[in-house]
């Protein structure tokens, strides 16, 4: 074929060679084979999914780090409570003897009050502002001293509340009963009044949610008074109804050594793996005032030591012992979860490594290969340039002028 | 019997022919790098001999004219390949600008989506944490902005291509006018048996320029070249050109209309105009629809999960995202509906410390949207789509470039000017001229001798 002009071919070859050089250089400097989706569309798409998995794994690892401390704090509180209950059983056993004097029983009872305070302190333990045993009501103290009567801020002698006094729609009034270990919740709907609240409280008392005799009435000073039977262990009342104002314990009605659980039974689960969530809290509903009923059993032992017979003290001590066993059982899932977090953290570290390897295989370059490619591209480019430099000046006119 | 005069006349003809040949060589050398130029060769012919009895005496050379050396088949193939290259390059240019938006970075939708779900997961460890809630809100805003930004990139490209359509049509009209103006001049030359020469070169180059803009078919007629678009719409007939027009269509985009107002947009399939239209109306529109669908369905699913829970104040979860009621424009207009971080519905029971509903919000990541894929898979599908389109356009552009190089080599082997060849021609014609001049000198000397014969006899 007749060749008229080699310049276009030479320019094309130079362009191709420089493109190869540029690609090789980019791969060496970025360490990536895929710098944009068109370099390898399938790899770029898979990379997008893989990076999402990496982000999840990173977050799961952070979650483990975050909840492990919280759960270890809860476990530490459990440990203290178990120690306290063991102390209570020892004290109860020593006080149950028939030869123990009344003064010694009183002394033991006093010592037990200290144990109770310690248990309450542990039950109200918090981690970074989160009450560990309150269920999902984690921003409020779960164990609150109980009183027999609570009164509203609203209402005076001059301007007394009435049964027809309207409640704020959507407001919530709750009554936690130390005797039943249950909480009654009344959510006012539009148009409801104190009369409906009173009826609901009476019904709850009948149903056993609240102690028999619990009532909601208007007292002599015109306030809403929610009260329990004087022989009960008391209640704790709260409301967010602005029409009623805060519900406060009536001074002088506190029940000694009695606490009501105002938390709930909700369990928070935190995702620490693609299909693995761990319960991060142990709600106190089944620990303090019902179920294991730590507070109730300790309260019972103190009362027995203060005024009971040896048999009653023995029975109360057995109740504390039973509570201790129950608490120990409820601690097991928490300990298992902590252990599970540890092994999951190792798994996630391995998963991170796997994903990183996968991502490198998808879009990364082998450094040795890319360096070799760059050297080859440089050589090829030099060869093309050398060929161009040699061939392009080769013209007849050039020869003639030399001659 | 041949005379000195006839010999002198023949030598002078040679001088003239060689001079003209040198002019052709000179012109070839001068246009060696002129785009579209076809080399010319002088057409020599032996002059009719003089019959003298039994003798036939040659009368030298006659220059018949100049002939441009062309290969119409290869020229036609180059025009077609140029149309394909124009289309591929138009698509590639747009997709290269779109690609970075879909490349994994801190700004892309996939990364922001992952960040949102990671922030939700982080919130689950402490649903009352203000910092964690702020983190979720910020991640949601970043994701909405990533959707907005990606949509803006696509629509900006679409707007740019829309402008390009108008510019291309304007250029096409200019070129067809120039081609039509050349047709009568070329027809006049060819009617007298002459070569189209420079005018034909100019017209071929104009057709090539037109091919880079749109798909065009060329037919040779006695009146010159007739040009028409893919669907047969005439662009040039003889000395008349037919202008194309643009008008805004129902989709808000510029449509291409022929001289009768008929919409021929769909039939423009290659060249820069065809590539621009295809990228604008099919490629980018398809990507925008996928993106809008993802934004709309993701936002709706997230809001539905939010509605299942309660915010930090115990109220039912309100919409997290403002999602347009229609799919179209969803990516451009999606935004975060809440500004108060306590409005994130993490709780499943109304208490502030519950994280129960975060599981519902997180499940959006792994649950198929109505379109059939999870949000992450749908986005990965978009990344693949963009990458695949850009890769195909690159491959087509590379292939057409290589093909054009080969075709141009073929054409150059026929029509291209070789400096070496012209240099040898230069020497050849120079030598021939010198020889002819020597003949003239010799005849002149012979004339002198002949005239001297008379003078000597007189002396």
3-state SS track over chain B? CCCHHHHHHHHHHHHHHHHHHHHHHHHHHHCCCCCCCCCEEEEEEECCCEEECCEEECCCEEEEEEEECCCHHHHHHHHHHHHHHHHHHHHHHHHHHHHHHHCCCCCCHHHHHHHHHHHHHHHHCCCCCHHHHHHHHHHHHHHHHHHHHHHHHHHHHHHHHHHHHHHHHHHHHHHHHHHHHHHHHHHHHHHCCCCCHHHHHHHHHHHHHHHHHCCEEEEEECCEEEEEECCCCEEEECCEECCCEEEECCCCCEEEECCCCCECHHHCCCHHHHHHHHHHHHHHHHHHHHHHHHHHHHHHHHHHHHHCCECCCCCECCCCEECCCCCCCHHHHCEECCCCHHHCCCECCCCCCCCCCHHHHHHCCCCCCCCCCCHHHHHHHHHHHHHHHHHHHHHHHHHHHHHHHHHHHHHHHHHCCCHHHHHHHHHHHHHHHHHHHHHHHHHHHHHHHHHHHHHHHHC
* Helix, strand or coil, per DSSP, at residue A25: helix
Q: Which of B93, B442, B73 is nearest to B280 (CA)?
A: B93
**Interface membership of A277 toward B (CB under 8 Å):** yes
Residues 63-122 in A contacting B (C-alpha not used; CB under 8 Å): 63, 66-67, 70
Distance in Å, alpha carbon of A278 to nearest chain B alpha carbon: 11
DSSP classification of residue A269: E
Nearest CA in chain B to A264: B351
Chain B residues with CB-CB distance to A8 below 8 A: 405, 408-409, 412
Spatial separation of the C-alpha atoms in residues B286 and B434, rounded to whole Å: 72
- Look-up: residue for tokens 């991640």? B139
**Residue B249: is its pLDDT beyond 70?**
yes
Spatial separation of the C-alpha atoms in residues B205 and B198, rounded to whole Å: 11
**Interface membership of A37 toward B (CB under 8 Å):** yes
Cβ–Cβ < 8 Å for A334, A133: no
Q: Which contacts (CB < 8 Å, 24+ apart) does range A19-22 have? A: A20/A377, A20/A380, A20/A381, A21/A374, A21/A377, A21/A378, A21/A380, A21/A381
Give Cα B74 to chain centroid, integer Å.
19
**Residue B333: is its pLDDT beyond 80?**
yes
**Interface membership of A396 toward B (CB under 8 Å):** yes
Cβ–Cβ < 8 Å for B312, B344: yes
Cβ–Cβ < 8 Å for B266, B253: no
pLDDT at B64: 86
Q: What are the C-alpha distances in Å from B285 to residues B84, B203, B257, B266, B271? A: 22, 37, 21, 15, 20
Distance in Å, alpha carbon of A212 to nearest chain B alpha carbon: 28
Nearest by CB to B110, from A52, A277, A397: name it: A52
Spatial separation of the C-alpha atoms in residues A119 and A111, rounded to whole Å: 13
Spatial separation of the C-alpha atoms in residues A157 and B50, rounded to whole Å: 151
Cβ–Cβ < 8 Å for B218, B82: no
- Is B124 within 8 Å of A36 when comparing Cβ atoms? no
pLDDT at A139: 85
- Is B420 within 8 Å of A277 when comparing Cβ atoms? no
Per-residue pLDDT for chain A (403 aa), expressed as one digit of tens each?
888 788 888 899 999 999 999 999 999 998 999 999 999 999 999 999 999 999 999 999 999 999 999 999 999 999 999 999 999 999 999 998 888 899 999 999 999 999 999 999 999 999 988 899 999 888 889 999 999 999 999 999 999 999 999 999 989 999 999 988 889 999 999 999 999 999 999 999 999 999 999 999 999 999 999 998 877 889 999 999 999 999 999 999 999 889 999 998 899 999 999 889 999 888 888 888 777 788 989 999 999 999 989 999 999 999 999 999 988 888 898 999 999 999 999 999 999 999 999 999 999 988 888 899 999 999 999 999 999 888 888 888 888 887 6
Nearest CA in chain B to A12: B405
Chain A residues with CB-CB distance to B104 below 8 A: 44, 47-48, 51
- Is B125 within 8 Å of A59 when comparing Cβ atoms? no
Nearest CA in chain A to B401: A12
Residues 275-314 in B contacting A (C-alpha not used; CB under 8 Å): 314
Percent of chain A with pLDDT over 70: 100
| Burial of B431 per CB tally in 10 Å (0-12, 13-18, 19+) | exposed
Residue from B93, B351, B402 to probe the interface with A (highest A Cβ count within 10 Å): B351
Task: Work out the angle at residue B298's Cα, subtended by the Cα atoms of residues B333 and B133, and round it to the nearest 5 degrees.
Answer: 85
Residues 120-159 in A contacting B (C-alpha not used; CB under 8 Å): 128-130, 134-139
Percent of chain B with pLDDT over 90: 74
**Interface membership of B236 toward A (CB under 8 Å):** no
Residue A220 token pair: 């002599």
- Is A36 within 8 Å of B121 when comparing Cβ atoms? no
Distance in Å, alpha carbon of A93 to nearest chain B alpha carbon: 40
**pTM for the predicted model, two decimal places:** 0.86
pLDDT at A403: 62
Residue A303 token pair: 């009362």
B327 band by pLDDT with thresholds 50, 70 and 90: very high
Q: Which of B102, B161, B118, B116 is nearest to B334 (CA)?
A: B116
- Is A135 within 8 Å of B351 when comparing Cβ atoms? yes
* Helix, strand or coil, per DSSP, at residue A364: strand
Spatial separation of the C-alpha atoms in residues A155 and A163, rounded to whole Å: 12
Give Cα A84 to chain centroid, integer Å.
26
- Is A55 within 8 Å of B32 when comparing Cβ atoms? no
- Look-up: residue for tokens 């071929």? B204
Chain B residues with CB-CB distance to A137 below 8 A: 351-353
Strand B61-68 to B234-237 pairing: unpaired
- Is A37 within 8 Å of B32 when comparing Cβ atoms? no
Q: What are the C-alpha distances in Å from B87 to residues A16, A37, B274, B305? A: 21, 21, 6, 46
- Is A38 within 8 Å of B95 when comparing Cβ atoms? yes
Sequence-distant (≥ 6) Cβ neighbours of residue B189 within 8 angstroms: B195, B196, B197, B199
Q: What are the C-alpha distances in Å from B10 to residues B45, B57, B227, B428? A: 13, 11, 47, 19
B85 band by pLDDT with thresholds 50, 70 and 90: very high
Least confident span in A210-214, B216-220, B282-286, B330-334: B216-220
Residues 406-435 in B contacting A (C-alpha not used; CB under 8 Å): 408-410, 412-421, 423-424
Nearest by CB to A8, from B118, B383, B405: name it: B405
Cβ–Cβ < 8 Å for A242, A167: no
Q: Which of A214, A185, A197, A122 is nearest to A154 (CA)?
A: A197
Spatial separation of the C-alpha atoms in residues B276 and B92, rounded to whole Å: 10
Rg (CA), chain B: 38
Give Cα A102 to chain centroid, integer Å.
47
Compute the CA torsion angle B100, B105, B110, B115 (nearest 10 deg). Answer: -160
pLDDT at B417: 93
Specify which residues B57 forms β-bridges with: B50
**Interface membership of B34 toward A (CB under 8 Å):** no
pLDDT, average across residues B82-92: 94
Cβ–Cβ < 8 Å for A371, A25: no
pLDDT at A358: 93
- Look-up: residue for tokens 């100019």? B202
Q: Is the dihedral of CA A231, A232, A236, A239 positive or negative?
A: negative
**Interface membership of A392 toward B (CB under 8 Å):** no
Domain ranges of chain B: 4-69+416-454, 100-379
Chain A residues with CB-CB distance to B402 below 8 A: 12
E strands, A101-229, where? 126-127, 130-131, 143-147, 149-152, 172-177, 183-187, 215-218, 224-227
Spatial separation of the C-alpha atoms in residues B316 and B348, rounded to whole Å: 9
pLDDT at B3: 82
pLDDT at A200: 96
- Is A5 within 8 Å of B352 when comparing Cβ atoms? no
Spatial separation of the C-alpha atoms in residues A238 and A227, rounded to whole Å: 13
pLDDT at B458: 52
Residue B455 token pair: 């003078």
Residues 88-147 in B contacting A (C-alpha not used; CB under 8 Å): 95, 99-100, 102-104, 110-111, 113-115, 117-118, 121-122, 124-128
* Helix, strand or coil, per DSSP, at residue A216: strand
pLDDT at B96: 93
């Amino acid at each position: 074929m007749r060749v008229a002009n080699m310049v276009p071919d030479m320019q094309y070859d130079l362009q191709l060679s420089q493109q190869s050089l540029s690609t090789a250089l980019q791969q060496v400097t970025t360490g990536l084979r895929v710098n944009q989706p068109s370099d390898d569309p399938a790899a770029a798409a898979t990379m997008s999914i893989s990076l999402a998995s990496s982000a999840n794994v990173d977050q799961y690892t952070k979650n483990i780090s975050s909840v492990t401390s919280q759960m270890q704090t809860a476990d530490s509180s459990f440990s203290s409570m178990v120690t306290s209950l063991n102390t209570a059983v020892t004290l109860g056993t020593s006080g149950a003897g028939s030869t123990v004097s009344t003064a010694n029983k009183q002394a033991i009872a006093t010592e037990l009050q200290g144990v109770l305070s310690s248990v309450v302190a542990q039950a109200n333990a918090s981690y970074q502002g989160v009450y560990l045993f309150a269920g999902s009501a984690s921003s409020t103290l779960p164990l609150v001293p109980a009183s027999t009567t609570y009164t509203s801020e609203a209402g005076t002698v001059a301007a007394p509340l009435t049964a027809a006094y309207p409640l704020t729609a959507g407001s919530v009034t709750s009554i936690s009963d130390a005797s039943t270990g249950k909480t009654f919740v009344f959510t006012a709907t539009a148009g409801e009044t104190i009369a409906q609240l009173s009826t609901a409280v009476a019904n709850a008392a009948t149903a056993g949610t609240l102690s028999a005799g619990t009532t909601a009435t208007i007292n002599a000073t015109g306030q809403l008074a929610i009260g329990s039977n004087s022989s009960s262990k008391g209640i704790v009342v709260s409301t967010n109804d602005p029409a009623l104002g805060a519900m406060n314990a009536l001074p002088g009605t506190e029940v000694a050594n009695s606490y009501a659980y105002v938390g709930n039974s909700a369990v928070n689960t935190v995702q620490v793996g693609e299909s693995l969530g761990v319960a991060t809290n142990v709600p106190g509903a089944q620990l303090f005032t019902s179920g294991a009923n730590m507070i109730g059993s300790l309260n019972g032992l103190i009362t027995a030591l203060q005024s009971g017979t040896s048999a009653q003290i023995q029975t109360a001590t057995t109740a504390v012992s039973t509570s201790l066993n129950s608490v120990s059982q409820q601690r097991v899932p928490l300990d298992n979860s902590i252990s599970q977090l540890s092994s999951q953290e190792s798994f996630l570290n391995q998963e991170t490594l796997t994903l990183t390897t996968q991502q490198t295989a998808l879009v990364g370059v082998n450094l040795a290969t890319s360096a070799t490619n760059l050297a080859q591209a440089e050589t090829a480019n030099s060869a093309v340039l050398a060929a161009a430099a040699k061939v392009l000046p080769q013209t007849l006119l050039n020869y003639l002028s030399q001659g | 019997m041949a005379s000195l005069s006839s010999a002198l006349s023949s030598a002078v003809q040679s001088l003239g022919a060689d001079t003209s040949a040198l002019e052709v060589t000179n012109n070839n050398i001068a246009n060696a790098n002129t785009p579209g130029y076809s080399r010319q060769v002088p057409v020599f012919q032996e002059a009719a001999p003089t019959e003298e009895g039994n003798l036939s005496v040659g009368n030298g050379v006659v220059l018949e004219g100049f002939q441009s050396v062309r290969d119409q088949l290869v020229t036609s193939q180059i025009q077609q390949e140029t149309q394909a290259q124009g289309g591929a390059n138009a698509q590639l240019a747009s997709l290269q600008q779109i690609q970075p938006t879909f490349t994994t970075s801190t700004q892309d939708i996939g990364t922001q989506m992952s960040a949102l779900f990671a922030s939700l997961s982080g919130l689950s460890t402490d649903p009352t944490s203000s910092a964690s809630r702020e983190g979720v809100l910020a991640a949601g805003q970043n994701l909405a902005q990533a959707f907005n930004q990606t949509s803006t990139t696509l629509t900006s490209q679409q707007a740019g291509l829309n402008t390009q359509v108008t510019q291309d049509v304007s250029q096409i009209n200019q070129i067809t006018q120039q081609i039509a103006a050349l047709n009568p001049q070329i027809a006049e030359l060819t009617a007298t048996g002459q070569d189209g020469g420079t005018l034909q070169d100019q017209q071929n180059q104009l057709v090539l320029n037109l091919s880079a803009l749109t798909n065009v078919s060329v037919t040779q007629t006695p009146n010159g070249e007739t040009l028409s678009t893919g669907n047969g719409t005439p662009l040039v007939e003889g000395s008349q050109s037919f202008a194309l027009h643009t008008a805004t269509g129902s989709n808000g985009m510029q449509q291409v209309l022929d001289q009768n107002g008929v919409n021929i947009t769909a039939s423009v399939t290659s060249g820069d105009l065809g590539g621009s239209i295809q990228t604008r109306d099919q490629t980018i529109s398809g990507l925008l629809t996928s993106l809008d669908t993802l934004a709309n369905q993701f936002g709706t699913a997230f809001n539905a999960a939010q509605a299942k829970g309660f915010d930090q104040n115990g109220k039912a979860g309100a919409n997290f995202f403002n999602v347009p009621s229609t799919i179209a424009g969803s990516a451009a207009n999606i935004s975060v509906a809440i500004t108060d971080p306590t409005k994130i519905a993490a709780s499943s029971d109304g208490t502030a410390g519950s994280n129960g509903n975060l599981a519902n919000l997180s499940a959006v990541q792994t649950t198929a949207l109505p379109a059939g894929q999870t949000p992450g898979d749908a986005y990965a599908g978009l990344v693949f789509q963009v990458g695949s389109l850009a890769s195909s356009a690159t491959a087509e552009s590379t292939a057409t470039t290589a093909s054009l190089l080969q075709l141009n080599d073929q054409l150059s082997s026929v029509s291209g000017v070789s400096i070496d060849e012209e240099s040898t021609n230069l020497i050849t014609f120079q030598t021939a001229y010198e020889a002819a001049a020597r003949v003239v000198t010799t005849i002149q000397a012979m004339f002198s001798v002949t005239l001297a014969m008379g003078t000597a006899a007189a002396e």
